[in-house]
Structure 1
Amino acid sequence: MTTPEPNTALERLYRESGWTLRQLAQEINRIGTERGTPLKYREPSVHQWLKGHMPKEAVRPLILEAFTRRLERPVTHTEAGFPVPPTESISHPSTVDGLLDLGRQDMDPSRRSVVGAALFSVALTVPNWPDVVGRMETVSSGKPLRIGMADVDMVVAMTDRVSELDDQFGGRHARPMAAAFLVNTVAPYLRADAPEQVRKAMMSAASFLSYLTGWMAVDEGLHGLAQRYYLKGLELAGASADHSTYCHILRGMSVQAADLGHGAPAVRFANASSAVSPRSGPRMNAFLSGQQAHAFAVAGDRANALRSIRETEKSMEKAESASGTFGGYSPATVAYHVSQVRHALGDVSGSVSSLQLHFKLRDSTDSQVSSLRFNSMLAERQLEIGHLEAACNTWQNVLSQYPAMHSDRVDRHVKMIPALLNPYSANPLARETRERAIRSLAQ
């Protein structure tokens, strides 16, 4: 067997990164865990790759993503000295065909693990508004089908129902329903004959449904899949000239990136959302600047984070009433964003106070999923500042509602409880809370 030639291309990237062998292996393992495929690579494996041994095909995208995040620029297979994978299709699929393909894969249980393994990309190319506005491929359904505004209203109503299910129970069961509805009903409607006004309204409705499906994929930890739904939503929003939904999706992409700890793309998406926002009132200004503040804080930009959160608070004060919130944005959401900014900037105690204010301001229309997630965050931060009994009481509240929830994000918080409380086994309340969490996870 011939000895492979050293991979000089990979070596250049490695030197540019400034990492040690161990640090590169740890980052690849972390991204694997993020994708749902935990890995246990160590220094010898990285050393072998640099010497010319080719990494497994499934691991190569993780290596590229690791360098992309470190170097803050896209890194290709060729640049890393890896063979370029064959593309599935030379031609770019139409928006409708791409949506159909994505939804069908998502619906198919045999393909679920493949779709779910798609990797979150910090270098994702997002279509600009001028590139997608008014653009929609001419499509033919192959059979006579004509739609009207009543069909648009039905799609909007169904999207609202799916969103309600997601808010109440989590996205694990609601998302496959949304994917099936996209494939079986909405995609054929996008191919149907209709007056221009109806066609644009249908594309707008489909755009928001695609966004919601992506949002629920985030709830399941399927971050690469979520990005694919978001991109389709952006294309449809542009095609229907729906500025509002286009901004909404970009903001959702920033939320996703910020929650994963990727400050640079979170800022990029939040700023892009704000830059293309249509003229609007103070509530939407708060909706956008609140997320900008969180993104800046995650990126370590203290000055811009504090500036943006002050803008958010001022805009919300100018809003006429608490009714008609945009995207669910309310004074309670402002308090949550203040909490996230404070925590990202190192003020854990202030973050706890802001989260407690958030719960005082919430009302019955707020999402049950976010209630459990934010209460879990509150408990973790209460423990972080040494308030053990307060943290346990907050966790007890989470655990009393947890059996009805089907959310991977909530699951991940609950799974942390035993390890976090393990050092406090001498405390009866901590011991009982830990044991209750273990029982809940076993059910």
Structure 2
Amino acid sequence: MNREPNNTLATLMADAGATNKGLARRVREVAKRHAVHVGTTHVSVQRWLDGGGIQPQTAGFLAEALSEKLPRKVTAADLGFPGTTTTPTSTGTAYATSLAEALGALDALTQRRPVDGPPAEPFMIQAEMDSAVLSWFVARPDGLILDKPGARRVGMRDVAAIRAAGDAFMRLDFQFGGGHGHKALRVYFREEVLPLLSASFSAKVGASLYDAATDIAQLLAWTAYDTGDHALANRYMLSTLRLTQVTGDRMMGARILTNMSHQANYLGQAPLAVRLARASVEGGRGQATPRAMALFSCHEARALSTAHDHKGAAHAMNEAERFFERAESVTDPEWLSYMDEAELVGEFCHCFRDLKQGREAVLFAERAVALTDPKYARTLGFCRMVLAQSQLLNGELEAAADTASQAVEGGDALQSARFQRYVADFQREISGHTGIPAVEQFNEQVREAMARLDDE
């Protein structure tokens, strides 16, 4: 049967400057944001252009992908496919009732690959998150089962090896994005870390072992989040939160809640992000160091800024500053070493940007860029993109485009799906300014950079 070419889709792609390969990648990214796996390739796109059909859910992802590249919203019905109006659905999980259940969930998660598709449970449902947080708040420590007869004996040398591996993977994450090391980290955690959690150890070794394992597990969650696999990240976060209950590590648990707030905020779920951030602040109060409390308060400010609560955000930023002033008064765990002045200022520039306070946003973003160590390539990329958006708020179009070009120029941060979204958001914001040399140069630079990623 002869099929008519989908000229409508072809026109939209031309307007968006999208290639078959580039559009396929964007559809996959959108699907990941909704915690759904799709196998869209450049061949799929060509089939659609040739008049082939499309699944309704995939059409929704396709419309969202094109909307991000165009100055107008595209719906599934606008794509030239008949009867495609279904919107995407999302997925999530629940808090484990026992340590054995949490370890089993982590083992299953480390065996999951993107091609396996998303988990079946609902994702980021507020009632389920609230239930998980309450369970963590009221739980007593499980306690460690010590000196198991007949089991492998774990020593501090094993714990030191896990910490060294975690440090290495953390450096990869900061410099190249979560996608660079997630697969290797997943295998390491499953093969080298999980077996030790059921082995034999002393009280001192067991406490250190669970601390190190929890740090690796949260990094697994973070790298999954950074690649855009939000359902997987959410499941890792909840399982990791459950691990903190073993030894009653309230500071690490509050850190996980902060990460969950960060993700909810990124996904546009501001009310949930606010509640999770406040839970981290209250959960850490009296248990966490001042530096950690500054981190937790920063993310409460971030969530409140997204919700456009100016008074609440200002209060949370003031709290963060007061905690940070006392940061040097105690010794912090190693995982908090990144929470320095540059990180604090970087969080604040996000807040001022979201509150549409352009002057303050530029001042704090400029300071964040100046203070951020280049080894934190992704963080530096974020700060530069926030500076560009803040300059745009102030009407400094050419300066904004130049700043954004500097952010993309390095290329390392582009490995992060989150950074790619910063870039796409900025492109939408400047999409009405055609014919401006700096804008055209930036858009061309992004096209070339993304093409290089597609070829890797």
TM-score (norm 2): 0.72
Change (3 A) 1:221 1:354: same
In structure 1, what is the Cα distance between the partners aligned to 2:331 and 2:388? 30
Give percent identity, aligned residues only: 25
Deviation at 1:333, TM superposition (A): 2.1
Amino acid at match of 2:355: L
Specify the alignment match of 2:310 in structure 1: 302
Could you tell me whether the CA contact under 8 Å between 1:418 and 1:438 is conserved in 2? no
Amino acid at match of 2:303: A
Where do residues 169-248 of structure 1 align in structure 2 (5 Å cutoff)? Answer: 169-248=176-255
For residue 155 of structure 1, the aligned residue among 142, 145, 162 is: 162
Specify the alignment match of 1:349 in structure 2: 359
In structure 2, what is the Cα distance between the partners aligned to 1:148 and 1:92? 21
Where do residues 269-308 of structure 1 align in structure 2 (5 Å cutoff)? Answer: 269-277=276-284, 278-308=286-316
Specify the alignment match of 2:17 in structure 1: none
Change (3 A) 1:192 1:33: closer
Matched, 1:370 2:372: no
Specify the alignment match of 1:331 in structure 2: 341
Deviation at 1:360, TM superposition (A): 2.2
In structure 2, what is the Cα distance between the partners aligned to 1:424 and 1:211? 41
Bigger drift between 148-157 and 31-40 goes to 31-40
In structure 2, what is the Cα distance between the partners aligned to 1:240 and 1:386? 52
Structure 2 gap segments, 5+ residues each: 1-28, 37-57, 64-74, 78-84
Deviation at 1:403, TM superposition (A): 5.5
Change (3 A) 1:92 1:147: closer
Specify the alignment match of 1:14 in structure 2: none
Matched, 1:311 2:319: yes
Matched, 1:122 2:126: yes
Specify the alignment match of 1:440 in structure 2: 449
Deviation at 1:424, TM superposition (A): 3.1
Specify the alignment match of 2:398 in structure 1: 389
Could you tell me whether the CA contact under 8 Å between 2:353 and 2:386 is conserved in 1? no
Change (3 A) 1:95 1:328: same
Instruction: Report SS of the residue matched to 1:350.
Output: helix
Specify the alignment match of 2:418 in structure 1: 409
For residue 254 of structure 1, the aligned residue among 242, 246, 261 is: 261
Deviation at 1:413, TM superposition (A): 3.0
Specify the alignment match of 1:35 in structure 2: 34
Change (3 A) 1:425 1:261: same
Could you tell me whether the CA contact under 8 Å between 2:304 and 2:312 is conserved in 1? yes
Change (3 A) 1:425 1:216: same
1:265-319 deviation digits (Å, cap 9, x = unpaired): 1121112112121445432332222222222222333322211111222332344
Structure 1 gap segments, 5+ residues each: 1-29, 45-54, 66-73, 75-86
Could you tell me whether the CA contact under 8 Å between 1:36 and 1:117 is conserved in 2? no
Matched, 1:358 2:362: no
Amino acid at match of 2:258: R
Change (3 A) 1:109 1:262: closer
Could you tell me whether the CA contact under 8 Å between 2:362 and 2:390 is conserved in 1? yes
Amino acid at match of 1:425: T
Instruction: Report SS of the residue matched to 1:329.
Output: coil
Specify the alignment match of 2:433 in structure 1: 424
Bigger drift between 168-177 and 328-337 goes to 328-337
Specify the alignment match of 1:400 in structure 2: 409
In structure 2, what is the Cα distance between the partners aligned to 1:315 and 1:243? 17
For residue 380 of structure 1, the aligned residue among 362, 366, 389 is: 389
In structure 2, what is the Cα distance between the partners aligned to 1:151 and 1:428? 57
Change (3 A) 1:288 1:327: farther
Deviation at 1:34, TM superposition (A): 3.2
Change (3 A) 1:281 1:96: closer
Amino acid at match of 1:441: M
Report how many aligned residue pairs link the two structures.
Answer: 375
Deviation at 1:132, TM superposition (A): 5.4
Instruction: Report SS of the residue matched to 2:438.
Output: helix
Amino acid at match of 1:288: F
Could you tell me whether the CA contact under 8 Å between 1:247 and 1:273 is conserved in 2? yes
TM-score (norm 1): 0.74
Bigger drift between 166-175 and 132-141 goes to 132-141
Deviation at 1:138, TM superposition (A): 10
Specify the alignment match of 2:82 in structure 1: none
In structure 2, what is the Cα distance between the partners aligned to 1:202 and 1:94? 19
In structure 2, what is the Cα distance between the partners aligned to 1:194 and 1:100? 21
In structure 2, what is the Cα distance between the partners aligned to 1:135 and 1:280? 20
1:67-101 deviation digits (Å, cap 9, x = unpaired): xxxxxxx9xxxxxxxxxxxx9x9999622211101
Q: Which has the higher contact order (CA 8 A, sep 6+)?
A: 2
Bigger drift between 122-131 and 262-271 goes to 122-131
Deviation at 1:187, TM superposition (A): 1.0
